[in-house]
Amino acid sequence: MATHSDQYWMYQALQLAFKAQKECEVPVGALLVMDNEVISIGWNRSISCHDPTAHAEIIALRQGGAALKNYRLLNTTLYVTLEPCIMCTGAIVHSRIRKLVYGATYKKTGAISLLTDIMRYASPYHKVELVSGVLANKCSAMLHHFFRLRREQKKKLKQFLRISHKID
């Protein structure tokens, strides 16, 4: 079987991001791949799990370790739709994955474009191969759409509260 491309796997990660969106979580999806096979998947679940660490990447890494019965996820590639935050970047380096592929860069919370050396500082013992910008437009469009909807919902809620206050 032919080895699937980074784009192929990023499309799968986008499907997982969509699951997060349906659950009203920030739409980020991640999956861990080894030898052309999915080892584990994750999507943001911080709100539903009441867990600030339940980012898509952390969930995929934890499940990946359980699936491989190894805390070192050697020879795996992690695909994630959004540039990882500082917490996830630390976990990624400690997991010793071989390669990280992400879609959209995110200046607000993304750790990699902000601190180019963060992966080196997280651990001097392991170097992760990095690919960025895979399906970047699709990945960032999903986030922009989500945040725009959320802003509109907040605006509507404020208007509603203002009106109902006047009625009272």
Q: Is the dihedral of CA 62, 63, 65, 66 positive or negative?
A: positive
Residue of 55, 61, 80, 128 that binds Zn ion (CB under 5 A): 55
Task: Name the strand (E) or helix (H) holding 81.
Answer: strand 77-82
Residues 11-30 interacting with Zn ion (rule: CB under 5 A): none
Site for Zn ion contains 85 (CB under 5 A): yes
59/85 with CB nearer Zn ion:
85
Nearer to Zn ion, 8 or 123 (CB): 123
Verify binding: residue 111, Zn ion, rule CB under 5 A: no
Site string for Zn ion, 88-107 (x = CB under 5 A): x-------------------
**What dihedral do alpha carbons 49, 52, 56, 62 form, nearest 10°?**
-80
Q: Please give the DSSP secondary-structure letter assigned to residue 71.
A: S
Token duo for residue 141: 């469009």
57 is catalytic: yes
Q: Is 45 in the site for Zn ion (CB under 5 A)?
A: no
- In 10 A of CB 113, how many CB atoms? 13
Q: Taking the complex as a whole, how short is the minimal distance between the CB of residue 56 and Zn ion, in angstroms?
A: 8
Which tokens hold the place of 166? 């006047």
DSSP E strand stretches across 19-163: 29-34, 37-43, 77-82, 99-104, 129-132
23, 37, 57, 152: the catalytic one is 57
Interface stretch with Zn ion, choices 11-19, 30-38, 41-49, 85-93 (CB under 5 A): 85-93
Interacting residue ranges for Zn ion, rule: CB under 5 A? 55, 85, 88
